[in-house]
Amino acid sequence: MQKSFRAALATCCAVAAATLAHAQTDPTTEDFEKFRAVMEDANPAELWEVKGEQLWKTRRGPKNASLEQCDLGLGPGVVKGAYVQLPRYFADVGTVMDAERRIVHCMVTLQGFSFEEIAKRPFSSGNYTPDPVSIVTFVAAQSRDMKIAVPQSHPKERATWELGKAIFHYRAGPWDFSCATCHGEDGKRIRTQNLPNFTKHDQAPRSFIGWPGYRMTGGVMHSLQWRMNDCFRQQRFPEPGYASDTITALLTYMGVNSNGFVYKGPGIKR
């Protein structure tokens, strides 16, 4: 009797000690961060950068045109520095667009591709990478080491930020979750994953830095369009439309909150 009590006590205290140690050093996150630092020196994302550059420069589609006349906000064909200033307002469409949405817009208007076709299979899986994902990886890489500066000078850009903020805090669905339920408090985690608090200026860049990202789980390249879609799924919301206003609004909200931090280029995600 006494023996089993002692055993129980030992087990209890081992668990308590482990829990304490976990809370203090958080080995899972630490190990992963070390691994990521090593991986980033040889980030496989570069493969998609190269592929994206080819897609950007090659004449393709029903109109047999390249994307070299695509205006990402800094003038036709200007890629350097464009990514860190997106989403932004585009006068030609009278609305705010994020990077991938603008690239898709150029594929449709300049090259003659069909939006519906692109939107049918917009996310990477297995060996399949949709063209816009490769192209956005190339475009993002041309903003490496530049400061995030998502503009808010146009009234529609400010309205889009407000809309993004509202969507971020909008609770609904079977669990009555909003984005903020998981990403609006410090120190939240699901399983081994830390959940960044995007309402805080110091953590907001995790919605920008590292994306688009090579995901070690599955070995695929993903853009923020995918990340947003997957979080809506986790929230048990209906999936938003690909390249929709909803996504642009959320990316504007989190992008502006990340302003001033240095963008490191396409990254690595677990």
In the complex, the residues that contact ligand HEC under the rule CB under 6 A are: 168, 177, 179, 181-183, 190, 193-196, 206-207, 210, 227-228, 231-232, 234-235, 250, 269-270
Q: Please state, in angstroms and rounded to a whole number, the distance separating the CA atoms of residues 139 and 68.
A: 12
Residue with tokens 């984005």: 179
Q: Which residue is nearest to ligand HEC (CB)?
A: 179
Nearest approach in angstroms of CB 178 to ligand HEC is: 7
CB of 239 to ligand HEC, least distance (A): 11
d(CA 178, CA 38): 34
Distance CA 257, CA 255 (A): 5
Is the Cβ of residue 113 or residue 232 nearer to ligand HEC in the bound state?
Answer: 232
Q: Which residue has the tokens 């520095």?
A: 81
Q: Out of 13, 179, 182, 231, which one is annotated catalytic?
A: 231
Nearer to ligand HEC, 39 or 195 (CB): 195
Q: What is the CA radius of gyration of the chain?
A: 21
Residue 70 is a catalytic residue: no
Write the CB contacts of 189 (distance below 8 Å, at least 6 apart in sequence): 195
**Contact 86/180 with Cβ under 8 angstroms?**
no
Q: Considering the complex, state which of residue 19 and residue 234 has its C-beta at the smaller distance from ligand HEC.
A: 234
Cα 135 from Cα 234, distance rounded (Å): 27
Which two three-digit tokens encode residue 124?
């990477």
CA distance 206 to 43: 18
Nearest to 250 by CA among 209, 204, 218: 204
**Minimum gap (Å) between residue 209 Cβ and ligand HEC:** 8
* Residue 29 C-beta: closest distance to ligand HEC, Å: 9
Residue 16 or 239: the one with the smaller Cβ distance to ligand HEC is 239
Catalytic residue numbers read 231
